[in-house]
């Protein structure tokens, strides 16, 4: 592991990307170390010289991805915005940027979330809980509840708005999948997104 970290950064990157992509596509069990080294352009031996086993590599990727998401996504959202929908809009922008620049990391994390029986060591479990905590705070902390219509259950309203927005984003992602994220002009989609947000505001806010 120290071997790996004292490596040329570009080579590190190439190996990480290759491994993230492989695990994201195949899941832990079916992922192949042979394919990883081929994609990364290194000899088979090196992978086990840097990391001692497939599992160790995987754990490193998990830790690395969690850190990256916090640094490149969670920490960049402005928590002083107290309007729920505006907060969500802002978070979406930051997230899209991070996602475009780190496709494999986000896909990898998606896979980690879905994988059924997959026990992580204590420290990664802790990192995971922290990630969940931050993700929650990102959306719900410091929100001004007085913006909503009095008679509604605020928590339920939060959820409905969240599901609606996530639904839009998932559908968009599905529609755009296969295309190079970096090559897409997102402006018309942002436009459309704002129209959806507008409807939500007019429906749920006072």
Partner DNA sequence: ATTCTATTGACCATAGTGGTCGAAAGGTGT
Partner DNA sequence: ACACCTTTCGACCACTATGGTCAATAGAAT
Asked if 164 contacts 200 with a C-beta cutoff of 8 angstroms, the reply is yes
52-91 positions binding a copy of itself, by CB under 8 A? none
Nearest to 172 by CA among 99, 115, 74, 104: 99
Spatial separation of the C-alpha atoms in residues 108 and 26, rounded to whole Å: 10
| Identified binder of a copy of itself from the candidate list 55, 142, 167, 184, rule CB under 8 A | 167
End-to-end CA separation in angstroms for the chain: 56
Binders of DNA among residues 38 to 77 (CB under 7 A) are 41-46, 48-49, 52-55
Q: Provide the residue count of the chain.
A: 206
Which of DNA, a copy of itself, none lies near 195, with the C-beta cut-off 5 to 8 A by kind?
a copy of itself
Of the candidates 144, 163, 173, 184, which one interacts with a copy of itself according to CB under 8 A? Answer: 163
The answer to whether the beta carbons of residues 69 and 98 sit under 8 Å apart is: yes
Q: Considering the rule CB under 8 A, would residue 206 count as an interface residue with a copy of itself?
A: no
Q: Of 41 and 110, which CB lies nearer to DNA in the complex structure?
A: 41
* Adjacent-strand bridge partners of 205: 148
| 195 lies in the site for a copy of itself, by CB under 8 A | yes
Which partner in DNA, a copy of itself, none is near 136 (CB below 5 to 8 A by kind)?
A: none
Assess 125 for contact with DNA (CB under 7 A): no
């Amino acid at each position: 592991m120290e071997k790996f970290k004292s490596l040329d950064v570009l080579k590190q990157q190439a190996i990480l990307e290759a491994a993230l992509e492989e695990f994201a596509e195949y899941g832990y069990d079916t992922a192949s170390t042979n394919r990883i080294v081929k994609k990364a352009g290194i000899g088979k031996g090196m992978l086990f010289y840097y990391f001692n086993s497939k599992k160790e590599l995987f754990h490193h990727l998990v830790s690395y991805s969690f850190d990256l998401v916090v640094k490149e996504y969670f920490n960049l959202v402005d928590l002083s915005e107290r309007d729920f929908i505006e907060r969500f809009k802002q978070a979406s922008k930051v997230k899209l940027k991070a996602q475009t620049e780190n496709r494999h990391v986000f896909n990898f994390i998606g896979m980690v979330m879905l994988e059924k029986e997959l026990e992580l060591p204590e420290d990664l479990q802790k990192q995971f809980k922290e990630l969940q905590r931050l993700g929650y705070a990102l959306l719900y902390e410091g929100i001004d509840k007085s913006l909503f219509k009095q008679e509604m259950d605020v928590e339920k309203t939060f959820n409905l708005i969240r599901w609606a927005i996530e639904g839009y984003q998932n559908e968009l992602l599905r529609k755009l999948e296969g295309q190079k994220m970096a090559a897409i002009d997102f402006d018309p989609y942002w436009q459309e997104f704002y129209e959806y947000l507008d409807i939500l505001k007019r429906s749920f806010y006072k």
